[in-house]
Amino acid sequence: MGKLDALTSSILLAQANDLPLANTNPIEVNMNRRTFIRIVGGGAIFSATAGLAACSRDMPPEAIAAWKGPQTEMDVRKWILSYAILAPHSHNLQSWLVDLRTPDEILLYCDLTRLLPETDPYYRQIMISHGTFLELVDIAARERGIRTTIELFPQGEYGPEAIDQRPLARIRLAADSGVAKDPLFGQVLHRRTNREAYDLSNVIQEDAVQSIADSMQAYPIRFGFVGLDRPEEIKKHRAIAADAWRIELTTPAKILETYKVLRVGAGEIAQYRDGISINDPFLSLIVRLGLFDRSQAPKPDDSATLDQIERFNKNLESTPGFMWMVTEGNDRITQVNAGRAYVRAQLAGTALGISMQPLQQALQEYAEQHRSYTEIHHLLNAPSPRYTVQMWARLGVGPPIEPAPRRGLEAHIFNG
């Protein structure tokens, strides 16, 4: 679910022999690359880079094949799951595991090897990510005339600070000609988490906000929105988001957790089909040459860090609106249902041409974010611990983007 912005090319460029930062001026970018070639050594690098101009920055087709939807007839459960695996997930980890050994049933587990213990120490965001999956299961099932009965935590609910190997949900499926189709189904293949700059002149209209709010009515969520008509409030949202991003970017253990799921270049993207993707031929070369050390965090005053902060702040300044979702209580069922509500909001926004990017940094429960956590809960009139801000996102009209990689259905099937 885009918990962090995808790390841009500037980080890799800055760490490769302390190169000047790439920027939006193509002449300067090309000079940076020539400087790199001169520093490292001409012959081998020239040979390796000779074909880069013809290399594609598009996602490898196999990495995004799942976004075409199921292509063949299959077990109806697999058809349904082919849509569910397109749900948003923090850091695009895709930590969903399903057991299909019982007919007419899907048993959902959490893959305990795909967690974010540094930035999500109590696994709240992981629970939200499983909620998005469950909601897409229900939406897709309705499209096939199937009613779902979803029992959360059938062997007992996880505790507030840990999760374990017990199933997260049991989903029973039954044919029902009377089940209503969900109009949001048509948006599943088009949903994106858009982290780019938005069009500040494209103001989000009140009826669009109401449609997003209406999409979540089935869940006990307090929804809120602020737009450009309240400039002082917008300013506060931007300030908290910017500071929380800075904290995460400059806390070594937290940014290194992102590095672990950073996929650079078409080869890595196609191999892993998860995580945070950067597909740039030049940067791929830097990685292949071993000049990007993912075991070392950049220093807070490094040019790469400062550039990331500046870029993120510019995106915040381009944002015409922020939405939030508040719950009373914060147990595991509440977290899962918040995820179910959020993906509905995002699908409703997709239908209206509205992009969303979650801003999770200030909502995270690790010590360094305590001030940001307190500030956003205060701003949204959600005093903790009674209330929890489960989701906070920037909204606007963004440029077209490609879908995020997906590992494919078979990677999620658990066979005991």
Is 50 exceeded by the pLDDT of residue 416? yes
Contact 224, 395 (CB under 8 A): no
pLDDT in tens, 211-221: 999 999 999 99
Of 240, 246, 261, 244, nearest to 300 (Cα)? 246
Query: To which residue do tokens 């058809």 refer?
Result: 79
Tell me the pLDDT tens digit for each residue of 104-148. Answer: 999 999 999 999 999 999 999 999 999 999 999 999 999 999 999
Map out the domains of the chain with their CATH numbers: 62-188+402-414 (3.40.109.30), 190-246+316-396 (3.40.109.10)
Note whether 398 and 194 are within 8 A (CB). yes
CB 396, CB 202: distance < 8 Å: yes
The predicted structure's pLDDT at residue 128: 98
For residue 80, CA distances in Å to 96, 144, 241, 245 come to 14, 8, 36, 36
Give the span between the Cα atoms of 216 and 126, in whole angstroms: 20
Does the global pTM surpass 0.95? no
Q: Which residues contact 34 (CB under 8 A, 6 or more apart)?
A: none
Instruction: Note whether 43 and 315 are within 8 A (CB).
Output: no
Contacts of 17 (CB under 8 A, 6+ apart): 36, 39, 40, 291
**Which residue has tokens 């190169």?**
19
Strand partners, 150: 171
pLDDT score of 5 = 39
User: Mutual orientation of helices 332-351 and 124-143 as an angle, nearest 10°?
Assistant: 60
Which stretches of 352-397 are DSSP H helices? 370-379
**Cα–Cα dist 24/14, whole Å:** 15
Tokens of 2: 């885009």
Q: Which of 50-54, 71-75, 179-183, 223-227 has the lowest mean pLDDT?
A: 50-54
Stretch 377-404: mean pLDDT: 97
**Is there a contact between 239 and 356 (Cβ–Cβ < 8 Å)?**
no
In this prediction, residues 68-73 reach a mean pLDDT of: 87
pLDDT at site 3: 44
Picking from 20-29, 38-47, 238-247, 323-332, which range would have the lowest pLDDT averaged per residue? 20-29
| pLDDT, tens digit (0-9, with 9 covering 90-100), for 267-288 | 999 999 999 998 888 888 888 8
Q: Which tens digit of pLDDT belongs to each residue from 24-65?
A: 333 334 445 444 444 444 343 333 333 444 445 789 999 999
Within 8 A by CB and 6+ apart from 50, the residues are: none
What mean pLDDT is reported for the chain? Answer: 88
Residues 184 and 348: their CA atoms lie apart, in Å, by 7
| Banded model confidence at residue 1, pLDDT cuts 50, 70, 90 | low
Question: What are 402's two structure tokens?
Answer: 């490609």
Q: Are strands 169-175 and 146-152 parallel, antiparallel or unpaired?
A: antiparallel
Q: Residue 359 is encoded by which pair of tokens? A: 């801003």
Residue-level pLDDT at 276: 94
Tokens of 44: 């081998």
Q: From CA 135, how far away is CA 339, in angstroms rounded?
A: 8
**Helix-, strand-, coil-residue percentages of the chain, each rounded to 5:** 45, 15, 40
Q: What angle do CA 21, 362, 222 make, to 5 degrees?
A: 135
What mean pLDDT comes out for the span 322-336?
98
CB 305 within 8 A of CB 258: no
